[in-house]
Amino acid sequence: MTRLLALALFFAVSLAASAAETGTAASVRGVLAAQQDAWNRGDIVGFMKGYWQSEQIRFAGGDGFTYGWQATLQNYRRRYPDAATMGKLDFDLVEVREIAPDMAYVFGKWHLTRANEPPDKAPHGLFTLIVERKDGAWVITRDHSSAAGG
């Protein structure tokens, strides 16, 4: 009977842990889905809602990095001045993993499709994110994105 009780307890704890991981992953995937939707509406400010609105966020790309939400927004606006330049964004989330109760790691691919641009010239690349729960909301605090094309 003790073994049966121990086994039942083990499965209950395992299921609870899996549910918590699934909840975190679903929340993080939701942040990225909202970002993708905002981007595809041509809404950079809406896209930026996925980032922690703090001077402590860090965005790294190419051979440089930027600290701060406002500076990151300005970089996006400079590089993508209109909806045509923004194109249609697609994320492929390869891995979403909880690494602490209020922190997750995301690895994925991004791809832009633009009108009048050959598919083989479309901007695309990889990204690694740290997403944290800040004041009850999941937000990106670290973004390292690479570009290959475009």
Residue carrying the six token digits 């479309």:
122
What pLDDT sits at residue 120? 86
Nearest to 139 by CA among 131, 149, 129: 131
Q: Report, as an integer, the average pLDDT of 71-96.
A: 96
What pLDDT sits at residue 2? 52
Do residues 48 and 76 make contact, with C-beta atoms less than 8 angstroms apart? yes
Q: Residue 47's CB: how many other CB atoms inside 10 A?
A: 22
Percent of the chain with pLDDT over 70: 84
Nearest to 24 by CA among 148, 144, 130: 130
How do residues 86-139 score in pLDDT, each as one tens digit? 999 999 999 999 999 999 999 999 999 999 888 888 999 999 999 999 999 999
What pLDDT sits at residue 150? 53
2-145 maps to which CATH number?
A: 3.10.450.50
Looking at the predicted structure, is the pLDDT value of residue 9 above 90? Answer: no
What pLDDT sits at residue 111? 97
What pLDDT sits at residue 84? 93
Global pTM reads 0.83
What pLDDT sits at residue 110? 97
Residue type, 146: S
- Start-to-end C-alpha separation, the chain: 65
Looking at the predicted structure, is the pLDDT value of residue 1 above 90? Answer: no
The two beta strands, 137-145 and 58-61, are parallel
Nearest to 23 by CA among 82, 104, 120: 104
For the chain, what is the mean pLDDT? Answer: 88
